[in-house]
């Protein structure tokens, strides 16, 4: 184990990070964020501005909290159709059998994201990365390169994968 620890001490954030991370724009809708996180299989993602600089992080937990706290009142008479023999729009268009109207959540990612950016540089020692994650109680740190641009993300899973790979290589020897 000591040999393994010494190897770990030589690693940096650049060795642990997932490079070229995908991110979501601050003006994306909640629905787009849900689709993005679900399709990618991510629990969270960096939120970036138009210059590619991270301004926060949005997670599934942020979306769940938003959904739980959202209050919607049902109108006494729905304002999207007039009740006649067949539902019709105000313009007189007849709505077909089984027609449904969805109430769209217009909330943007910037409105629910965590606006804190916990970051390290690519040169930050791996031990410091892990200490920061534990101390801050976060699941991921951003790796920020020159000019403040996002170059990578280190998640707790990235660290576990790296440790598991190193350990399995030692067992093969």
Q: Mean pLDDT throughout 44-51?
A: 88
pTM: 0.71
How close are the terminal C-alpha atoms of the chain, in Å?
Answer: 14
Token pair of 5, please? Answer: 């620890």
Q: How far is CA 146 from CA 41, 42, 59, 132, 143, in A?
A: 29, 26, 26, 21, 10
Token pair of 145, please? Answer: 């390169």
Higher pLDDT, 33 or 163: 33
Q: Mean pLDDT throughout 57-66?
A: 94
Top-level class of domain 2-72+105-172: alpha beta
The whole-chain average pLDDT of the chain stands at: 83
Interatomic CA distance for residues 89 and 145, integer angstroms: 53
The per-residue pLDDT for 6 is 46
pLDDT at 1 over 50: no
- Cα-Cα-Cα-Cα torsion 76, 106, 56, 61, nearest 10 degrees, comes to 40
Least confident of 26-35, 47-56, 98-107: 98-107
Least confident of 68-72, 117-121, 136-140: 68-72
Largest CA distance in the chain: 79
Q: Mean pLDDT throughout 114-136?
A: 95
74 CB neighbour count, 10 Å cutoff: 6
Q: Mean pLDDT throughout 40-54?
A: 87
Q: Mind listing the pLDDT tens digit for each residue in 79-105?
A: 555 555 666 777 878 777 766 666 778
Positive or negative CA dihedral for 122, 170, 163, 42?
Answer: positive
């Amino acid at each position: 184990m000591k040999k393994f620890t010494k190897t770990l001490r030589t690693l940096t954030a650049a060795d642990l990070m997932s490079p070229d991370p995908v991110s979501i724009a601050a003006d994306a809708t909640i629905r787009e964020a849900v689709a993005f996180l679900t399709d990618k299989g991510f629990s969270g993602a960096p939120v970036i501005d138009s210059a590619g600089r991270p301004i926060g992080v949005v997670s599934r937990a942020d979306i769940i909290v938003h959904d739980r706290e959202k209050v919607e009142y049902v109108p006494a008479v729905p304002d999207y159709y007039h009740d006649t023999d067949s539902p019709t729009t105000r313009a007189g268009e007849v709505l077909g059998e089984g027609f449904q109207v969805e109430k769209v959540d217009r909330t943007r990612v910037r409105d629910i994201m965590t606006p804190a950016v916990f970051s390290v540089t690519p040169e930050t020692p791996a031990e410091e990365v892990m200490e920061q994650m534990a101390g801050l109680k976060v699941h991921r740190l951003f790796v920020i390169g020159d000019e403040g641009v996002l170059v990578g993300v280190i998640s707790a899973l990235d660290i576990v994968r790296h440790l598991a790979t190193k350990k399995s290589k030692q067992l093969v020897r």
